[in-house]
Amino acid sequence: MTGADIVLEALEREGVRVIFGYPGGANLPIYKELPKHPRLRHILVRHEQGAAHMADGYARASGRAGVVFATSGPGALNTITGLATAFMDSVPLVAITGQVASTVVGRDAFQESDVVGCSMPVTKHNYLITDVHDIPRVIKEAFHIATTGRPGPVLIDVCKDAQQADWPDPVWPQAIQLPGYRPAFTPDLSQLERAADALSRAERPVILAGHGVILSGGEEELIALAEKSATPTGTTLLGIGAFPVRHPLSLHMTGFMGTGWNLKAVQDADLLMCVGMRVDDRVTAKLADWAPRAETFIHVDIDRSEMGKNRRPHMEVVADAKTALGKMLPHIRPPEPERRRPWLTQIDRWREEHPLRYVHSNGHLQPQDVMIEMYRRCADEAIVVADVGQNQIWAALWWNFAKPGLFINSGGAGTMGFAFPAAIGAKVARPEKDVWCVAGEGGFVMTAQELSVAVKHQLDVKIVLLNNFSLGMVRQFQDDFYGGVRSEVDLHDMPDFVKLAEAYGLPGRLVTSADEIGPAMDFAQQTPGPVLIDFRIDEEANVYPIVPLGLGLNDFRELPDDYA
Amino acid sequence: MTTPEIARAQRLRVLTAVVEDHPGVLSRVSGMIRRRGFNIHGLSVGPTGVPGRSRMTLTVDAGHAEVDQVEKQLDRLIEVLEIEDLTETPRINRELALVKLAVDEGSRSRALTEIDRLGGRVLDEDREQLIVELSGEFERVEIALEALRSFRIVDLARSGPVAISKSRDRGPARAPGTQAGGGAG
C-alpha cells in the first residue's frame, strides 16, 4: 500500500464518512487513491477555510470529528482561521494537509509553509509525518486526541514522499500510547458532594451552562439538576441549546449582551455554579465586578487549566459536564418551596422589568421580527447556525426552544463567514434536520463562494440574510462607544443577493417589509435545496441589552425609550 | 546588599517538567509561554537518564496564581509527561555561569581573592582576562555575580537553572511507561 492509501484506510478504520477538502500539488497522491475508497464521501469546497468551517459544523451537529483535506502552503494556511475557530470552541476536527517532500522541507520549496509551526497555537496537537510507517499510529492518535477530553482540532501534515512510499503490510495499532495525555478525569466525589450541599443550602443560586454541557450531551442532567435544586439557569452564547429557554427556571443568555434578568441574577447570586464554560471576558464583562455577591463560586469543567484562569473557584470539579451533573444529582436536597420563593419572585420581577425589547413599528423591517418568525417555524427542532455580529446576538436572544436544541455559532473566535459553510456541514451531518443559516451580508460574502457546494449537493440550507448594508455591530460600537464616528462600516456596494443566488443556481427572494416575511419563509421551506432570502432590515437596528466596553454586568444598557 | 536581581532570584518559583524528546517540543513549550504572556525567568533543557525523555527546568518570577496557570497550561501539552512545582518541596537547584572578567595588573590579585572567596574557579587566564566558573544555587550565583560586577565583566554565559526533587519517587524520567502528569488537553 502507498502512504496515501494508508491515510484513507486509516480514516475508514476511524469511522470517517465525510471529508471536506481541496486537492493540490502536495496531496495529489491522496486524491489519486480517493476514488478507490467509495465509503469516504468527499465534498469539494471552493476555499479551504470553507472546508474547515464545514467540518466544524459537521462535528458540532453530529458529535463526530470533522475531517479536512488541504494541500501544502496556501491550502493549509487557508484552514488556519477554521482551526482557530474550532479550537476556541472545543470542536473535534482532524485536518490532513499535504506537505512538500521531506527531502526539501526547510528549503523554501514551492508551496512550502511551516504548517506545523503555524497551526501550533490553534490546535490541540499537531504532527509532521515524514515516514510512511508513522501514518497509522498518528491518525489513530489524532482522532483520539481530537475527540476525547476537551475536544479540539488536530492537524497532521503529511510529506508527499511519505504519501508515495510503499508499505506492503501496514501494521494497524490496537492501543494508543500517549503517556502525557490523560483526558478522562474521575471527578472527586467529595468535591461533588460539597458542591451539591452548597447548592442545596444556597438562598440565591444561579447555574450558568456553557458549550461543555452540549459537548458532553449533559442537557438532561442539567435540567434535572436545575429542577431538583430549583435553581435559575442561564447559558453562555455557546451554551444556548443546553437548557430550554421556555423553561420556567430559564435565565436565557448571560454575558455582555445577555438578558437583563440573567445579568441581575448573576450579580445578585449568593452561589454561582458555572458548568462546561471558560468564564471568559464576554461572559464576565469587567471581571472585578462580576458576581460580587457570590460567596460560593463552583466551577465545573473538563479542563483543569480553566480552574482559576480568570476567577478562582471556591470549589472546583474537574470532569465532563454530563458526568459531574449526573453525579451531583443524588446529593441535591430540594429546597422547601417557601425558601426558594423570594429568589424566584425576584427574578420574575427582573424579567418583567427588563424584557427583551425592540421597536417594530417604525416602518422598517426589524431583524427581531424575522428571527421570531424563523424560530416559530423551527418548532423546537431545527438547527440554527448563526454568523458573527448583530445577526448572531439577535439569533441567540430570540432562540426560543422549549427543549434542548442545536444553536451553532463561532462564539470564542468570532469568525465572520463561519455560518454558511458550517450550516452546510451541519446539513451533511444531519440531513433529516431543517437547517437555517442566519448571517449578515458582511460575513456572508466572506465565504459565499461555498454556495456552489450547497447547490451541487442540493443541501437544504435556508439562508436568512439580515442585510443592513453595514457592518452593524461595528457601526453600533462606533455609535455608542467611539464618539459616533462611523468609520469604514458602510456596505452599500454589495451585490444584488437575489441575483447572486441565481447566478450560483439557487433561488433567492427579496423581503423589505414585515408582511413579506411569512410568504418568503413559506417559499424557502417548500422549495427543496438551498434558498436565500435577502431581508433588508432596519439599517439602524441595534442589539440590546449591551454592557458598555470596560464596565460591569450591572451597567447593561437597554433599548433607549426614545429609540425610533 | 540586596539588588533587584538577588531579590528576584530569592523569590523565583521552580518548575520541572519531563517531556518527550520530539522535534518541536521546545517550540510547543516556549510558544505556550509566550502566547499566555507568562513571565519566565529561565528555561533550561537537557536529556534525562531515559532515551526519548528530556527534562526542562523553568524558573518563574511570579506569584502562586500565575505559577499554577503555567503548570496547568504546560500540563495540557500532550508531550509534557509530568510537571511539578518544586518550590515548596525539598529539592536541589543549580545554575552555572561562565564569566569573562577583564583584569589588569592593579585588579588581578584582588579579583583572584574575590573569586576564591566566592567559591569560583578560574578556568582560563592570561594577562588581560580571567574566565571564571560560578556554580551553585540561583541566589548564590546572583550574589557572586553581583560581587564580580565591581570588576569589569566583559561577557557572561549562564546555563539557566536546573533542579531536581529530593523525593525517592521514580518519575517518568527514570521509569519509561509509567503514566504521570497528563492533562485535559
**The domain that contains A95 carries what CATH number?**
3.40.50.970
A182 found inside a domain:
no
Q: B interface mutation test: which of A120, A124, A143, A305 has the most B CBs within 10 A?
A: A305
Residue A106 lies in a domain: yes
Q: Are A381 and A341 in the same domain?
A: no
Chain A residues within 8 A of B175 when measuring between CB atoms: none
In a domain, A80, yes or no: yes
Same domain, A205 and A63: no
- Is A217 found in the same domain as A82? no
CATH number at residue A212: 3.40.50.1220
Residues of B in contact with A305 (CB under 8 A): 69, 72-73, 75-76, 183-184
A398 and A531 within one domain: yes
CB-CB: which of A125, A150, A178 is closest to B184? A150
Residue A73 and residue A135 in one domain: yes
* Residue A182: closest C-alpha in chain B: B182
> Which residues on chain B are in Cβ contact (under 8 Å) with A146?
none
**A15, A125, A29: which is closest to A69 by C-alpha?**
A29
Residue-level pLDDT at B175: 46
Asked if residue A442 and residue A346 are part of one domain, the reply reads no
Residues A269 and A147 reside in one and the same domain: no
Task: Decide: helix, strand or coil at residue A52.
Answer: helix
Do A284 and A379 lie in one domain? The reply is no
Cβ atoms of B141 and B95 within 8 Å: the answer is: yes
Helices and strands, counts by H and E, chain A: 23, 18
pLDDT at residue number B170? 65
Q: Are residue A225 and residue A80 in the same domain, yes or no?
A: no
Query: Cα dist. A11→A40, A143, A511 in Å?
Result: 8, 9, 44
Rounded Cα distance between A546 and A536, Å, is: 23
In angstroms and rounded to an integer, the radius of gyration of the C-alpha atoms of chain A is 24
A159 & A265 share domain: no
Residues of A taking part in catalysis: 48, 110-111, 160, 473
Domains within chain B, CATH numbers bracketed: 4-89 (3.30.70.260), 92-162 (3.30.70.1150)
Helix (H, G, I), strand (E, B), or coil: what is residue A432? coil
**A181, A186, A320, best to mutate vs chain B, most B CBs in 10 Å:** A181
Q: Do A183 and B184 touch (CB under 8 A)?
A: yes
Assigned domain for A141 exists: yes
Looking at A353, A385, A401, the residue that finishes a domain is A353
Q: Which residues fall within 8 angstroms of residue A39, CB to CB, at 6 or more apart?
A: A12, A17
Note whether residue A525 is domain-resident.
yes
Shared-domain flag, residues A309 and A262: yes
Of A307, A331, A353, which residue constitutes the final position of a domain? A353
Contact B182/A at CB under 8 A: yes
Domain assignment of residue A557, yes or no = no
Q: Are A179 and B179 inside 8 Å of each other by CB?
A: yes
Same domain, A136 and A195: no
* ipTM confidence score: 0.90
Q: Which of A35, A115, A36, A116 lies closest to A74, judged by CA?
A: A115
Q: How far apart are the first and last CA of chain A?
A: 69
The tens-digit pLDDT sequence of chain A (564 residues) is 999 999 999 999 999 999 999 999 999 999 999 999 999 999 999 999 999 999 999 999 999 999 999 999 999 999 999 999 999 999 999 999 999 999 999 999 999 999 999 999 999 999 999 999 999 999 999 999 999 999 999 999 999 999 999 999 999 999 999 999 988 778 889 999 999 999 999 999 999 999 999 999 999 999 999 999 999 999 999 999 999 999 999 999 999 999 999 999 999 999 999 999 999 999 999 999 999 999 999 999 999 999 999 999 999 999 999 999 999 999 999 999 999 999 999 999 999 999 999 987 789 999 999 999 999 999 999 999 999 999 999 999 999 999 999 999 999 999 999 999 999 999 999 999 999 999 999 999 999 999 999 999 999 999 999 999 999 999 999 999 999 999 999 999 999 999 999 999 999 999 999 999 999 999 999 999 999 999 999 999 999 999 999 999 999 999 987 765
- Determine contact: B23 vs chain A, CB below 8 A: yes
- The count of structural domains within chain A is 3
Closest-CA residue to A256 (of A60, A481, A455): A481
Residue A561 inside a domain? The answer is no
Which residue bears the cell 448594508? A469
Q: Is residue A551 a part of any domain in this protein?
A: no
Range of the domain at A280: 189-353
